[in-house]
Amino acid sequence: MVPILSGRIQTRLFLLALVGSVVTLALVPLLPGQAPLSERYGDAFVLLAAVAVLGIGWELLYHLLMQLRWEKDWPSLFGLLTGVPEGLLLWALLRAGAVPLAGSAPPGWVFAVHFGVVWLAVWLVANGPMRVPFLRWRFRGGRLV
């Protein structure tokens, strides 16, 4: 899929809500933590929401960078690697206590596993299976509505 700006944002929000939630539901009980499960879920979903909200800003930046490309495309590798700066920024904000509703920052590796697995799952779905139920999605620059 070669995105347009609204398609980028819609796809991100949709896939984080769907794939991100499923992955989070499955993963959180497997990650270590002292707090009760419900609290850990709460923190994990706040993180997910933060990826979505910050992501709107990131997508604007990616859209601007894409304008420097002749083909106005966004190679799938970019979609994977942009997880690194996004993850680092979110981690920094967490550590600084700048993410509203978030509890204390989890251990670094727990954050990395959660963020990494969600990112990878969303990227994988966006690069193939998404086209099965949403037949028109790839021809509309990622727009769902």
Partner 1 sequence: MEYVSAGLPGELTPRLLREPQWTDAMVDEAGIEVRDVPFVSVGGGIGSFVTVNYLRIAGVPADRIAVLSTIDHPWQTYEYLTRVSQIPRLERIRSDSSSRPDNIWGFPSYALAEAWRERTARPLLHVLGEPVFTDYWTPRAGTVFAGLARESARIGYPDMLVKGVVRMVRRRAGGGYFVILTPPAGSTATKRVAYRARFVHLAVGYPGLKFLPDLQAFRETYGDFHHVVNAYEPHEHVYEYLKTTPGTVMVRGGGIVASRVLQRLMDDRARYGLQTEIEHVFRTYVSGAHGPHIGSRRKGGHGFAYQGFNYPKSVWGGQLKARMRRLEGEQRAAEYRRMGGTNTPKRRKWQQQMRTGREAGWYRAFQGTVEEVHPGPETRLTSIVKCGDDTRKIVSDFIVDCTGLEADIADHRVLDDLLTHGGAGRNPLGRLDVERTFEVIGTASGDGAVYASGTATLGGYFPGVDTFLGLQVAAQEITDDLARRGWCDRLGLLRSTSQWIRWALGRPVEGSAAWSRS
Contact status, residue 139 vs residue 69, Cβ threshold 8 Å: no
128 is a contact residue toward partner 1 (CB under 8 A): yes
Of the pair 2, 31, the CB lying nearest partner 1 is at 2
C-alpha–C-alpha distance, residues 134 and 82, integer Å: 24
Q: Does 72 bind partner 1 (CB under 8 A)?
A: yes
Residue 134 contacts partner 1 per CB under 8 A: yes
Q: Could you give the C-alpha distances from 48 to 37, 53, 82, 93, 115, in angstroms and in order? A: 16, 9, 16, 14, 8
Rank residues 33 and 141 by Cβ distance to partner 1 and give the closer one: 141
The two structure tokens encoding residue 99:
């993410």
Structure tokens at 38: 């419900």
- Interface residue with partner 1, options 30, 104, 133, 145 (CB under 8 A): 133
Q: Does 113 interact with partner 1 (rule: CB under 8 A)?
A: no
Contacts with 14 (C-beta within 8 Å, 6 or more apart), sequence order: 144
Window 76 to 105, contacts with partner 1 (CB under 8 A): 76-77, 80
By the criterion CB under 8 A, which residues form the site for partner 1?
A: 1-4, 66-73, 75-77, 80, 128-129, 131-136, 138-141
